[in-house]
Amino acid sequence: MSKEEYTSDSESEFTEFWIDWFLGTKGNEYFCDIDVEYITDKFNLTGLYSDVERVPQAIEVITDNLKSDELTEQQRETLEYNARLLYGLVHARYIITARGLQKMLEKYKNADFGYCSRVFCQLQHLLPVGLSDHIGVSAVKLYCPKCEDLYNPKSSRHSQIDGAFFGTSFPGMFLQAYPHLVPVHPTDRYVPKVFGFNIHDYAKVSRWQELQRMKVEKRLRDADIPVRNSANGYKTGEGAEDDRDMEEVYT
């Protein structure tokens, strides 16, 4: 696939630098710019030669040093594909470095990765993550630090990005580097009702879920992890006895 098949946000088919063109291409908004010094350091390319063909020439494409006058159209397309693949794999390594985390922090603050669609997460900013560090296994997913669940990107362009370009370690490294960004875990959940009353069959499941929620809250508090209480709070009296009965049944 050649450059002409991509559309840049700048409404220009070509930009002066390859990295600028790549980042300006629609669908590549999740990526940050990688320092050229990082890409040209052979140590950072260890193990990638088996995944990408003609790595030296792919680097020349990325760094705008390739002499392509004598190349055929097919050769240019092959090198362009290799360059995008190499950039993605190097990107997964770069974003867990100190400088890479800082760049992704700015994108996170700007909500470049979107918001959590869960209502009780209240538009929590998301983080990209891969389900595998190997290419061709799974597309990129979005991780919500609040509900700790994964979501598919809303845009079809983003859904085609390989998850290996972000790796499996990024969200964990990001939240360790910036612990002040770890949100309070929500405990609110939606319970369907009919005229204000819980549905009979669902009520049994709901009570069991409530018991599990209380257990999770206790474990989090024991681990000194902040937890926001739900609107229902803890049960007392007869309700507490019922919970103990439920615990005997379900545990």
Q: Please, what is the end-to-end C-alpha distance for the chain in angstroms?
A: 56
Sign of CA dihedral 52, 58, 62, 63: positive
Please tell me whether residues 146 and 202 are part of one structural domain.
no
pLDDT of residue 209: 81
- Point out the least confidently predicted range of 129-133, 176-180, 218-222: 218-222
Q: Which domain does 205 fall in, by range? A: 194-223
- pLDDT tens track for 25-83: 999 999 999 999 999 999 999 999 989 998 999 999 999 887 766 777 888 888 999 99
d(CA 127, CA 183): 13
Tell me, what's the pLDDT at 166?
A: 97
Query: Does 217 share its domain with 168?
Result: no
Q: Name 227's bridge partners.
A: 185
CATH code assigned at 154: 2.20.25.20
- Shared domain check, 153 and 90: yes
Quick one: which H or E segment has residue 143? strand 141-143
Is 11 domain-assigned?
Answer: no
Helix (H, G, I), strand (E, B) or coil at 28: coil
207 shares its domain with 164: no
- The answer to whether 221 touches 214, Cβ cutoff 8 Å, is no
Q: Judge if 164 and 200 occupy the same domain.
A: no
Does any domain span residue 106?
Answer: yes
Predicted model pTM: 0.74
pLDDT tens, position by position, 126-166:
999 999 999 999 999 999 999 999 999 999 999 999 999 99
